[in-house]
């Protein structure tokens, strides 16, 4: 392990050295492999911001920055009325809620970005301290996109800022690259479970990993399941030929780390009489990935490459009108959201419309009176639900409430919580560990600790479940596992 760490660190030092020698800061913008040059020619963005092209047109009062084109316009959507600096209701903004500091609010982030694009922080603002500090505690929860009256999408603005910073630096730091590449090395992680267990038992080893890689020593790390779901699942469609056809998108986390959830979802769909196609790459090869881990770390080219693979794999199904059902909120909902900003072409609109979380699909089927699932009563059972930020941002909790309501006698309570604080890899990062736990302590962890031991804890997000495990020493599950348990024999 020590040798491996030393090797990785040496490689990182070498890359940095080479980057400096190549004066990459000067040439980085030319190295962007997929730039969207705004029409003023002022800046190459890595995401497609053309959706904001018409913002502020004819409005003399719109404070559109001098540079940045449509990206600047997306920041200018913030009108500065500071509604994001309230803590009375809703989920926005977790970093402001926990610090009470306006410097960690959506408004301040937008204002800093506008100032940066107005040249107030020098020629290379993306490498400067002002923007880095303003964005530091943004967890990408999308609370602002839903709750800000103007719909500021700070999660996306931050990703572009990160990508610009990495371009100036020459590459993303080692830790960010490791976290981003999880889907690539997840298939090979099973033999390392013993090492991960050792890290949790030996504080010195955890400290070494923290110092070397910046992964918080006090965090547990997810364990790879002995067998991935897709390696044992059949290649051909599952279910009778007369069943309504659907596609099940098994994400990296459900596939490699929590195959039980994917099995539960498949069982529910089969019990409902559906004919299930598992999304797989048409030409074989490594499993599909939505690109979320890459995008969150500002590795936009890699995210786009993953997204393109997924779009090509899903298109034959979507073109036939099949719904695409997903389990991990931040993975599935990316198809309805960030895929538009990745510049993936015309297929995106139909793919976005076909993409549904399992709970949304089941609720829709129920409303259309097509759902044939039968559930047995769960007398005396209580379920406590924590919604993933992106479920909240896309209004998907209504569907979850409806579907859990189909189980007779199950008492369901939803926790009034903001972001769990884990937010993908945010809580794993050593410098963010404390703030991540403070976010969780705002509402989620106290409610979980209060819950009786027999209470079913439901959290559909992988990182939310990890936060509950680390913070309250309790196990939670995806709702599919509860629903499967309630299926009538
Ligand atoms: S981010 Fe939204 S809520 Fe906050 S100041 Fe800007 S417009 Fe107002
Ligand atoms: S994405 Fe979440 S953390 Fe970031 S500014 Fe918006 S509400 Fe705040």
For residue 424, the ligand closest to its alpha carbon is 2
Closest-CA residue, ligand 2 atom 5, reads 106
Q: Considering every ligand atom, which ligand is closest to the CA of 390?
A: 2
> Do 330 and 281 sit in the same domain of this protein?
yes
User: Is residue 219 in a domain?
Assistant: no
Same domain, 43 and 162: yes
pLDDT reported for residue 393: 93
Query: How are strands ordered across the β-sheet holding 245-249?
Result: 275-278, 245-249, 324-326, 355-357
pLDDT at 36: 61
User: 109 and 179 share a domain?
Assistant: no
371: number of Cβ within 10 Å = 17
Percent of the chain exceeding pLDDT 70 equals 91
Pocket test for ligand 2, best of 98, 106, 424 (most atoms within 8 A of CB): 106
Same domain, residue pair 137 and 182: no
In this prediction, residue 20 carries a pLDDT of 41
Q: Is residue 376 part of a domain?
A: no
Assigned token pair, 211: 């110092």
What CA–CA distance (Å, rounded) separates 296 from 292? Answer: 6
277 SS3 class: strand
Minimum-distance ligand to the CA of 109? 2
Tell me how crowded residue 101 is: count the other CB atoms within 10 A of its CB: 12
How many angstroms is it from 385 CA to the middle of ligand 1? 29
Q: Tally the C-alpha atoms within 13 A of residue 40's C-alpha that lie toward its C-beta.
A: 14
Identify the residues whose C-beta falls under 6 Å from ligand 2.
Answer: 92-95, 106, 109, 138-144, 154-155
| CA distances, 226 to each of 191, 322, 368, 484 (Å) | 9, 32, 39, 22
Q: Show the domain range for 477.
A: 382-486
129 pLDDT above the threshold of 70: yes
Extract the tokens encoding 215: 């992964």
Ligand 1 pocket, mutate which of 62, 97, 104, 107 (most atoms under 8 A from CB): 107
Based on the domain organization, do 162 and 193 belong to the same domain? no
Ligand 2 probe mutation, 75, 154, 388, most atoms within 8 A of CB: 154
Rounded to the nearest whole angstrom, what is the distance from the C-alpha of residue 211 to the centroid of ligand 1? 37
pTM beyond 0.85: the answer is yes
Residues 200 and 177: their CA atoms lie apart, in Å, by: 23
d(CA 61, CA 76) in angstroms, rounded, equals 11
Dihedral angle at the C-alpha atoms of 115, 120, 126, 131, nearest 10 degrees? -50
Of 111, 148, 153, 157, the residue with max ligand 1 atoms within 8 A of its CB, to mutate for a pocket test, comes to 148
Question: Among 158, 182, 213, which residue terminates a domain?
Answer: 213
Q: Which residues of 338-349 are buried (b: 16+ CB within 10 A; e: fewer)?
A: bbbbbbbeeebe
CATH number of the CATH domain containing 346 = 1.20.1050
- Residue 394's domain is classified under what CATH number? 3.40.50
Shared domain for 12 and 62, answered yes or no, is no
Is the domain of 62 the same as that of 154?
A: yes
**What does the angle CA 217 – CA 384 – CA 93 come to, to the nearest 5 degrees?**
60
Q: How far apart are CA 487 and CA 271, in angstroms?
A: 8
Among 340, 367, 394, the domain boundary falls at 367
357 in a domain, yes or no? yes
Check if the beta carbon of residue 102 is closer than 8 Å to that of residue 143. no
Q: Which atom of ligand 1 is nearest to the CA of 105?
A: 4
Q: Is 405 part of a structural domain of the chain?
A: yes
Shared domain for 106 and 181, answered yes or no, is: no
Within-domain flag for 193: yes
Number of domains in the chain: 4
Please state, rounded to an integer, the average pLDDT across all residues of the chain.
90
Are 338 and 431 within one domain? Answer: no
Is residue 47 assigned to a domain?
A: yes
Percentage of the chain lying above the pLDDT 90 cut: 79
Question: Which is the closest atom of ligand 1 to the Cα of 109?
Answer: 1
| Protein residues with CB under 6 Å of any ligand 1 atom | 78-84, 106-107, 110, 144, 148-150, 152
On whether both 59 and 153 belong to a single domain, the answer is yes
Within a domain: 394? yes
Which position has the token pair 């979380």? 357
Buried b (16+ CB within 10 A) or exposed e, 228-239: bbbeebeeebbb
Ligand nearest to the Cα of 145, by number? 2
How confident is the model over 324-347, as pLDDT tens digits? 999 999 999 999 999 999 999 999
Residue 45 has φ and ψ, to the nearest 5°, of -100, 155
Question: What is the Å distance from ligand 2's center to 379 Cα?
Answer: 39
Residue 18 in this model has a pLDDT that exceeds 50: no
Task: Using the predicted structure, report yes or no on whether residue 53 has a pLDDT greater than 80.
Answer: yes
Reply yes or no on whether the pLDDT at 37 is more than 80. Answer: no
Out of 312, 335, 367, pick the residue that ends a domain: 367
Q: Are residues 391 and 411 in the same domain?
A: yes
* 87-96, 182-191, 356-365: least confidently modelled range: 87-96
Q: Same structural domain for residues 424 and 332?
A: no
* Closest to 248 (Cα-Cα) out of 397, 387, 354: 354
Residue 301 located in a structural domain: yes
């Amino acid at each position: 392990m020590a040798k491996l760490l030393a090797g990785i660190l040496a490689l990182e030092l070498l890359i940095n050295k080479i980057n400096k020698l190549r004066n990459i800061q000067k040439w980085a913008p030319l190295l962007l492999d997929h730039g969207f040059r705004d029409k003023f020619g002022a800046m190459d963005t890595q995401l497609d911001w053309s959706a904001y092209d018409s913002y502020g047109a004819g409005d003399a009062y719109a404070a559109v920055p001098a540079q940045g084109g449509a990206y600047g316009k997306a920041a200018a959507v913030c009108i500065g009325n500071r509604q994001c600096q309230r803590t009375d209701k809703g989920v926005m903004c977790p970093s402001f809620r926990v610090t009470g500091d306006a410097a960690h609010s959506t408004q301040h982030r937008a204002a800093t970005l506008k100032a940066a694009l107005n040249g107030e922080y020098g020629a290379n603002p993306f490498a400067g301290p002002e923007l880095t500090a303003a964005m530091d505690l943004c967890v990408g929860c999308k609370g602002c996109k839903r709750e800000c009256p103007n719909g500021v999408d700070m999660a996306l603005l931050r990703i572009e800022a990160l990508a610009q910073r990495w371009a100036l630096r020459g590459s993303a730091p080692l830790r960010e690259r490791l976290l981003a590449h999880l889907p690539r090395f997840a298939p090979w992680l099973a033999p390392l479970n013993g090492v991960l267990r050792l890290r949790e038992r030996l504080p010195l080893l955890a400290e070494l990993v923290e110092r070397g890689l910046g992964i918080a020593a006090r965090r547990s790390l997810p364990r790879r399941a002995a067998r991935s779901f897709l390696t044992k699942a059949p290649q051909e469609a599952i279910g009778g030929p007369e069943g309504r056809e659907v596609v099940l998108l098994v994400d990296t986390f459900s596939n490699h780390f929590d195959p039980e959830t994917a099995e539960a979802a498949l069982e529910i769909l089969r019990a409902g009489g559906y004919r299930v196609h598992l999304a797989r790459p048409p030409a074989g090869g490594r499993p599909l990935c939505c690109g979320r881990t890459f995008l969150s770390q500002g590795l936009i080219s890699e995210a786009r490459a993953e997204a393109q693979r997924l779009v090509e794999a899903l298109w034959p199904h979507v073109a036939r009108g099949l719904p695409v059902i997903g389990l991990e909120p931040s993975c599935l909902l990316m198809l309805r959201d960030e895929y538009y900003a990745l510049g993936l072409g015309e297929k995106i609109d139909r793919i976005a419309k076909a993409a549904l979380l399992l709970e949304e699909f089941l609720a829709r089927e129920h409303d259309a009176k097509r759902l044939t699932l039968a559930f047995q009563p769960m007398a005396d059972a209580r379920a406590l639900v924590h919604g993933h930020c992106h479920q909240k941002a896309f209004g998907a909790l209504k569907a979850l409430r409806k579907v859990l309501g189909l189980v007779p006698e199950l008492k369901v309570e939803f926790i009034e919580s903001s972001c769990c604080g884990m937010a993908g890899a945010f809580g794993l990062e050593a410098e963010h560990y404390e703030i991540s736990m403070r976010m969780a302590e705002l509402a989620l962890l106290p409610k979980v600790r209060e819950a009786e031991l027999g209470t079913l804890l439901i959290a559909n997000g992988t990182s939310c479940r990890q936060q509950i495990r680390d913070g309250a020493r309790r196990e939670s599950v995806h709702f599919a596992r509860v629903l499967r348990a309630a299926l009538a024999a």
